[in-house]
Structure 1
Amino acid sequence: MRNRRARLLIPLLALVAALFAVPAPASASTATTVAMYQTSYGGDDADIYYPSGASDLPVALLLQGAKVDRSYYAQYASAIAAQGFVVVVPNHYRLMFVETERYAAEHQVTRTVTWMKDEKYNSSSPLYKRIDSGKLVLLGHSFGGAAGLAAAEDTCSLVFCPALSFSLPSQVKAASFYGTNNGFLGIFADIDNKVPVQLVQGTADGIAPQSDAEKTYSHLLNTPRQIVRVAGVNHYGITDVQSPSPAESETSAQSLTQSESIEVAARWAGRFLLAQLGDAGAADYVWNIGDASDPGVTVTGAP
């Protein structure tokens, strides 16, 4: 049920120009305008970003980092949407560590499947008959990425599964997580991922270190899998600002500007997800030519 809706166009300007300054997959547009509205579903308020005029759109659910408000992902979500996705960014509050705060959970995935089916046939929605309700991909930041990893493994992990049950919907096709690892007290368990998984990691991350992401990547059991290392970027490389309050503060500085780090991270995440949905140009980029044309990025992967 919607409690508010404010349709507004979000000009991407320099962000979108930068996004497509490098070779683009065949499905990408060089002049994409992204629109946004606000809604609520499953008890969560959410921001919805989508490319104006496009149809048959897959949905990308962005699982927020711990205590990071959805509003801080506006630029990143817009950059993903510009590549051909409906991007859903909910605020999910729940009891965690003796406080009720914004913490992602696995059941957001199944709730989003329900929402996308309903929204497709909601005649009052800007996305009426424009959603491909059979295709959902996952994005995640930090804690949200860890919740997404558990979901991608089709397991109910106690920390991320307060509903005490979870079954990975068939609509989920791939996942890309930023600043994410599955380390717990120095232990990194194997991840029997049921869908392709990409990790995007800043080399200057002072909260979720690169070394932990590397160990997590090594424990992904199934292909396709990929880790993208972005030089000089820290834990908040995809948020609109550094250390968005009240989230944990980052002490490691970025050498890239915020708009630069968002552009790089969104480009690699979006193209990896497009590749898993059958985009040949995106696949060529993420597996063959992308790292050679991007001097700040190194990639390891298995298609």
Structure 2
Amino acid sequence: MKRAAHLALTAALTGGILSVVPTTSAAAAPPPAVAHYSSEIVNDGTDVYYPAGAQGELPVALLMQGAQVHRMHYAAYARAVAAYGFVVVVPNHKRLVFFDSDYYPSQKMPAQAIDWMAAENATASSPLAGRIDTDTLVLLGHSFGGAAALGVAEESCGIPFCTTLGYSLPDEVKAASLFGTNNKSPLLGSSASMDNQIPVQLVQGTVDGVALPADAETSYTKLENGPKQIVRVAGANHYGITDTQNPAGADPDASVQPISQAASIATSARWAATFLKAQLGDGAAADYVYSTGDAADPGVTVTSTR
């Protein structure tokens, strides 16, 4: 009964995208077709994923990668989030940080993505011409990219995520869902209070050996404003949203993930997408993330403040 109810809730949350099976069926609905093409945001090679059969304008989700993690390693996660009704863009943002030139997201990426949204929407040859909600950008982040997104969320500027004298949160940025992320200072060993200007969700693997669960819990308490949420994914480690464990080029997580990669990706993407949809006014998504989802999903425990 619990599984059937969970499947019905998942189908209801994505009803505008999926061909939904009756709520009495124990069979899962077929996944929506997610299309992909390559683009460029400024000088960053970018993968773009979107639900091919969706109607109307689609919000954009910018995925800010983990340190030294190539964008190709997020293909499954990006497709999973896109299936819920988002255009997911995954740039390779390469820059110099502390004498190392590699993939390191920065706080200028949301503004660059907003410019791309307007240009892509107006380009007749684009698969997304006229289909982008140019007023709405949400953030997905992993590790270093999630920390950069926290700076965006609280409209603050700090090295190495922001290298200008100040930072202004773009009006188009509405919410953030961040995996394996905290704001613990490696120098001070503590987390500062965050005056977040947008809703923030932290999705944290319980066996993460890089970004420790205790640090995510502390960072959650340091978020001063709601809505906010922490989702603890049982058995996921630091690379629970990448296509493979310990992707080449990135610092490995020695903590073994006991659940499958497919399970950690599906769970993390579901909670990220539904939280973001809830912040954009989707009532069914809000009901799931705040009321029914925790009980329906045996793979998570959730704490929220609205």
2:173 is equivalent to residue 187 of structure 1: no
Which of 220, 225, 228 is the aligned partner of 1:222? 225
Question: Partner of 2:83 in structure 1?
Answer: 82
Question: Partner of 1:129 in structure 2?
Answer: 130
Contact 1:27–1:279, Cα closer than 8 Å, also in 2: no
The Cα shift of 1:22 comes to 5.4
Q: Bigger shift: 20-29 or 272-281?
A: 20-29
Indicate the SS of the match to 1:61.
strand
TM-score scaled to structure 1, two decimals?
Answer: 0.91
Contact 1:140–1:176, Cα closer than 8 Å, also in 2: yes
Question: Partner of 1:213 in structure 2?
Answer: 216
Contact 2:143–2:181, Cα closer than 8 Å, also in 1: yes
CA spacing shift, 1:32–1:186, aligned 2, 3 Å: same
What are the equivalent positions in structure 2 for 1:6-85 lying under 5 Å apart? 21=7, 23-24=9-10, 25=13, 26-30=15-19, 31-54=31-54, 55-85=56-86
Question: Partner of 2:3 in structure 1?
Answer: none
Tell me the distance in 2 between the aligned counterparts of 1:243 and 1:164.
Answer: 35
Q: Detail structure 1 runs of 4+ shifted over 4 Å in the superposition.
A: none
1:212-258 Cα deviation digits (max 9, x unpaired): 00000000000000000011110000000000011011111111100
The Cα shift of 1:97 comes to 2.2
**How many aligned residue pairs are there?**
284
Contact 2:209–2:238, Cα closer than 8 Å, also in 1: yes
Tell me the distance in 2 between the aligned counterparts of 1:67 and 1:165.
Answer: 26
Q: Bigger shift: 219-228 or 159-168?
A: 159-168
Q: Counterpart amino acid of 1:142?
A: S
Q: Counterpart amino acid of 1:112?
A: A
Q: Counterpart amino acid of 1:44?
A: D
Tell me the distance in 2 between the aligned counterparts of 1:29 and 1:193.
Answer: 33
Contact 2:17–2:53, Cα closer than 8 Å, also in 1: no
Tell me the distance in 2 between the aligned counterparts of 1:219 and 1:293.
Answer: 28
The Cα shift of 1:77 comes to 0.2
Question: Partner of 1:286 in structure 2?
Answer: 289
Tell me the distance in 2 between the aligned counterparts of 1:116 and 1:274.
Answer: 19
Which of 242, 266, 270 is the aligned partner of 2:269? 266
What are the equivalent positions in structure 2 for 1:75-114 lying under 5 Å apart? 75-114=76-115
CA spacing shift, 1:93–1:163, aligned 2, 3 Å: farther
Indicate the SS of the match to 1:187.
coil
Contact 2:17–2:51, Cα closer than 8 Å, also in 1: no
Tell me the distance in 1 between the aligned counterparts of 2:286 and 2:17.
Answer: 13
The Cα shift of 1:269 comes to 0.2
Tell me the distance in 2 between the aligned counterparts of 1:129 and 1:74.
Answer: 24
2:159 is equivalent to residue 158 of structure 1: yes
Contact 1:158–1:164, Cα closer than 8 Å, also in 2: no
Q: Counterpart amino acid of 1:247?
A: A
Q: Counterpart amino acid of 2:79?
A: S
Structure 2 portions without partners, runs of 5+: 1-5, 20-30
Contact 1:203–1:229, Cα closer than 8 Å, also in 2: yes
The Cα shift of 1:164 comes to 4.3
Indicate the SS of the match to 1:23.
helix
What are the equivalent positions in structure 2 for 1:161-172 lying under 5 Å apart? 161-172=162-173
Tell me the distance in 1 between the aligned counterparts of 2:61 and 2:244.
Answer: 22
Identity across aligned pairs (percent)? 54
2:237 is equivalent to residue 234 of structure 1: yes
Tell me the distance in 1 between the aligned counterparts of 2:63 and 2:158.
Answer: 19
TM-score scaled to structure 2, two decimals?
Answer: 0.91
Question: Partner of 2:28 in structure 1?
Answer: none
Contact 1:117–1:133, Cα closer than 8 Å, also in 2: yes
